Chains A and B, each alone.
Chain A
Amino acid sequence: MREPSPGAAALKDVAPVPGVPKPDPILVVDGVVRHFGGLTAVDVEHLELQRGVITSLIGPNGAGKTTFFNLMTGFDIADEGAGTFDGQELRKVPAHKVAGYGMVRTFQLTKALTRLTVLENMKLGAHGQRGERILSALWPPAWRSQEQAIEERAEELLVRFKLDHMRDELGGTLSGGQRKLLEMARALMVEPMMVMLDEPMAGVNPALTQSLLEHVKDLPHHGMSVLFVEHDMDVVMDISDWVVVMGQGRIIAEGPPAAVAKDPAVIDAYLGADHGDESRFTPTPWPPESRAPEARP
């Protein structure tokens, strides 16, 4: 097994019960409900995410994971309820302000800015740029030194993500996996406290998956908290300090990876007859050798 995140020790005594309070939560969600017509996409009574650890959000397709992401990051507005991020109210706060608070997301469908160079993609991420105000933009001395500092930081991150050889290429020329790397590196340019990764491994070849995973695992060591959506259970079990399971918009389970994998509610959610073909998920309990007969309904 991997070395746990620096903050993971604090979770040792937390009971694996949905909505359980955490010792040092960074994101607290209260009574968030989102309906789409007659469908309740998200209905989360209470959820706390611990600071400085990697939390995975799993659940079958249509469980409301991406909607939950959108609600938290200001890309969608909840019908009821809200969250607080690091003590700041998130109710009806627009997306760009949420990013300003230090919570940055990536997208399931990668958004590499195709007609900007890789370096420009990176530099865009930096927060509080003086040259981004229209009047100062016309007067380069007002922003040149800051721009230089930003460029240095971007170059360092590009080296860390092994994209430095592509720095002057247009974003659109990158491969799918490289785009995922770029998007993650670009999110780090914001210097976030929390990174929300929506399926960062989707459509990435196994070799690159490994490298992406290493980067995700690295984030808590840089003081960041991570929430990420993933379908591959092997990945989830390997990487997470804590796992939150959604099903039909609700939090149906949470806990350390091993505990969640054995939770009958989770197994039900994945194997339940009314979910149709969920063959992308591996509903096997973890670790595999503990495959117990009672896991089968």
Chain B
Amino acid sequence: MDLYELFRAGLNSAVGPTAIVYALAAIGLNIHFGYTGLLNFGQVGFMLVGAYGLGISVSIYGAPFWLGIVIGLLAALVLALLLGLPTLRLRADYLAICTIAAAEILRFVFRSRPATNFTGGPFGIPSQVGGSGFSGTWNALNPFPSGTYRFGPLAFTHTRLWVVIVGWALVLLMVLTTWALMRSPWGRVIRSIREDEDAARALGKNVFVYKMQSLVLGGMVGGLAGILLALNQASMAPDQFLPQITFFGYTVLILGGAATIWGPVLGSVLFWFLLASIERGLLDSGVMQSGAVGPVRLALVGGALVLLMVFRPQGILGDKREMMLDA
């Protein structure tokens, strides 16, 4: 077993599109859960409506690409409003139940037979639908000539490189936005709501509006993650948006450290590095057949997470001081 190969596989995965998509999803969850204390268990639903907002408007209705992006983000906004209006005045658990159910309902509706004309049903929207499809303009915008690009141990095709560069730029932008917001008085109100919303209310803060703003903001970052996911694959299908994506998002967030600026990014990079290098290690060592590798790598990463929770419950970047207070 070549250790360098493990490292290379891990690194390629850690900077790749999947890690970016999860970093974005986790940044959204960080705004929800880490800073505001909102339990959104349906982040994947925001990703789904983001992706399909782009796919349906561009591939089915022939809208321009940029309008499709806007529609994808607006779809996430509308979903946040729909979920937030009835639940944000209630206790935190109601939002959790509603979001997880809504995400599954969306997936089943989008893959249902009656919706086939709009969503492509279970097969989703491949890139060929509607001429060059929703990713046509995206690929045309790619400034890199076709070929393979190598940077040390990293290797990308030109399409992948384009996704990776735009993706990391978006991640940086979102990290910057989170940072700017959370250091501001707005962020102070948001964090006070996480601590005790009655206290915030007693001090004259309209808690409902702040929670809604947080839900919309984090949901739209989730929508962006979905859009990037679709663009990376040049296709979308309902069954890519399974509930476990949300839980991987939480894993990533807690691994890196909730309520920290870089936590979701570090968490995602590390999570996908571990997953890919363990997979490569298991495959290369020949201890098991390739079919068994998928579940086993998850089990190993799960074990690592359990150890992390025992020895560093605040995550890698979290503040131990804060953890001690949760009595």
Chain A residues within 8 Å of B, Cβ to Cβ: 73, 75, 94-97, 99-100, 104-107, 111, 113-116, 120, 123-125, 127, 129-134, 136-138, 140, 143, 147, 170-173, 186-187, 189-190
Chain A residue at minimum C-beta to C-beta distance from B184: A137
Do residues A137 and B187 form an inter-chain contact, with CB atoms below 8 A? yes
When distances are taken between beta carbons in the complex, the residues of chain B under 8 Å from A124 are 188-189, 192, 200, 203, 205
Residue B195 at the A interface, CB < 8 A?
Answer: yes
Do residues B186 and A105 form an inter-chain contact, with CB atoms below 8 A? no
Do residues B181 and A134 form an inter-chain contact, with CB atoms below 8 A? yes
Q: How far is the CA of A97 from the CA of B205 in the complex (A)?
A: 8
Q: How far is the CA of A15 from the CA of B64 in the complex (A)?
A: 78
When distances are taken between beta carbons in the complex, the residues of chain A under 8 Å from B200 are 124
Residue B177 at the A interface, CB < 8 A?
Answer: yes
Residue B148 at the A interface, CB < 8 A?
Answer: no
What 1/0 flags go to B283-327 for Cβ under 8 Å of A?
Answer: 000000000000000000000000000000000000001100110
Chain A residue at minimum C-beta to C-beta distance from B205: A96
Cβ-neighbour of A105 out of B185, B196, B202, B259 (below 8 A): B202
What 1/0 flags go to B141-159 for Cβ under 8 Å of A?
Answer: 0000000000000000000
Give the 10 A-B CB pairs with smallest separation, nearest first: A172-B325, A99-B204, A131-B185, A137-B186, A137-B184, A111-B199, A113-B195, A95-B201, A111-B196, A132-B185
Residue B206 at the A interface, CB < 8 A?
Answer: yes
Residue B93 at the A interface, CB < 8 A?
Answer: no
Chain B residue at minimum C-beta to C-beta distance from A196: B202
Give 7 new A-B contacts, CB below 8 A, not counting A111-B199, A115-B194, A132-B186: A95-B201, A96-B205, A99-B204, A107-B202, A137-B187, A172-B322, A190-B203
Q: List 19 A-B contacts (CB under 8 A).
A: A75-B198, A94-B206, A96-B207, A111-B202, A113-B192, A113-B195, A113-B199, A116-B188, A116-B192, A116-B195, A120-B188, A124-B192, A133-B186, A134-B213, A137-B186, A138-B177, A172-B322, A173-B321, A190-B204
Do residues A106 and B186 form an inter-chain contact, with CB atoms below 8 A? no
Q: How far is the CA of A173 from the CA of B191 in the complex (A)?
A: 17
Residue B1 at the A interface, CB < 8 A?
Answer: no
Minimum CB–CB distance from A189 to chain B (whole Å) comes to 8
Q: How far is the CA of A124 from the CA of B192 in the complex (A)?
A: 8
Residue B180 at the A interface, CB < 8 A?
Answer: yes
Do residues A131 and B202 form an inter-chain contact, with CB atoms below 8 A? no
Cβ-neighbour of B206 out of A73, A96, A136, A190 (below 8 A): A96
User: Interface on chain B toward A: helix, strand, loop, or mixed SS?
Assistant: helix
Cβ-neighbour of A114 out of B187, B198, B325 (below 8 A): B325
Given contacts A73-B202, A100-B204, A132-B205, contact A123 B322 (CB under 8 A): no
Cβ-neighbour of A132 out of B189, B196, B199, B259 (below 8 A): B189
Chain B residue at minimum C-beta to C-beta distance from A150: B185
Chain B residues within 8 Å of A, Cβ to Cβ: 177, 180-181, 184-189, 191-192, 194-196, 198-207, 213, 217, 259, 321-322, 325-326
Cβ-neighbour of B201 out of A99, A116, A123, A140 (below 8 A): A99
Q: How far is the CA of A111 from the CA of B196 in the complex (A)?
A: 7
Chain B residue at minimum C-beta to C-beta distance from A186: B203
Cβ-neighbour of A125 out of B191, B194, B203, B321 (below 8 A): B203
Cβ-neighbour of A137 out of B185, B192, B204, B321 (below 8 A): B185
Given contacts A111-B196, A134-B213, contact A123 B188 (CB under 8 A): yes
Residue of B177, B188, B198, B326 ringed by the most chain A CB atoms within 10 A: B188
Minimum CB–CB distance from B177 to chain A (whole Å) comes to 7
When distances are taken between beta carbons in the complex, the residues of chain A under 8 Å from B195 are 113-116, 171
When distances are taken between beta carbons in the complex, the residues of chain A under 8 Å from B187 are 137
When distances are taken between beta carbons in the complex, the residues of chain B under 8 Å from A99 are 201-204
When distances are taken between beta carbons in the complex, the residues of chain A under 8 Å from B186 are 131-134, 136-137
Q: How far is the CA of A187 from the CA of B200 in the complex (A)?
A: 11
Q: How far is the CA of A3 from the CA of B194 in the complex (A)?
A: 42
Q: How far is the CA of A163 from the CA of B300 in the complex (A)?
A: 48
Q: How far is the CA of A93 from the CA of B197 in the complex (A)?
A: 17
Minimum CB–CB distance from A144 to chain B (whole Å) comes to 10
Q: How far is the CA of A253 from the CA of B211 in the complex (A)?
A: 43
When distances are taken between beta carbons in the complex, the residues of chain B under 8 Å from A131 are 184-186
Q: How far is the CA of A129 from the CA of B206 in the complex (A)?
A: 13
Q: How far is the CA of A99 from the CA of B187 in the complex (A)?
A: 20
Do residues B185 and A104 form an inter-chain contact, with CB atoms below 8 A? no
When distances are taken between beta carbons in the complex, the residues of chain A under 8 Å from B188 are 116, 120, 123-124, 132
When distances are taken between beta carbons in the complex, the residues of chain A under 8 Å from B206 are 94, 96
Do residues B180 and A170 form an inter-chain contact, with CB atoms below 8 A? no
When distances are taken between beta carbons in the complex, the residues of chain B under 8 Å from A173 are 321, 325
When distances are taken between beta carbons in the complex, the residues of chain B under 8 Å from A190 are 203-204
Q: How far is the CA of A171 from the CA of B204 in the complex (A)?
A: 20
Do residues A143 and B199 form an inter-chain contact, with CB atoms below 8 A? no
Chain B residue at minimum C-beta to C-beta distance from A102: B204
Q: How far is the CA of A244 from the CA of B218 in the complex (A)?
A: 48
Do residues B203 and A138 form an inter-chain contact, with CB atoms below 8 A? no
Do residues B181 and A138 form an inter-chain contact, with CB atoms below 8 A? yes
Q: How far is the CA of A10 from the CA of B204 in the complex (A)?
A: 31
Q: How far is the CA of A125 from the CA of B189 in the complex (A)?
A: 10
Chain B residue at minimum C-beta to C-beta distance from A125: B203
Minimum CB–CB distance from A100 to chain B (whole Å) comes to 5
Q: How far is the CA of A115 from the CA of B195 in the complex (A)?
A: 7
Q: How far is the CA of A134 from the CA of B31 in the complex (A)?
A: 13
When distances are taken between beta carbons in the complex, the residues of chain B under 8 Å from A104 are 202-204
Do residues B181 and A123 form an inter-chain contact, with CB atoms below 8 A? no
Chain A residue at minimum C-beta to C-beta distance from B323: A115
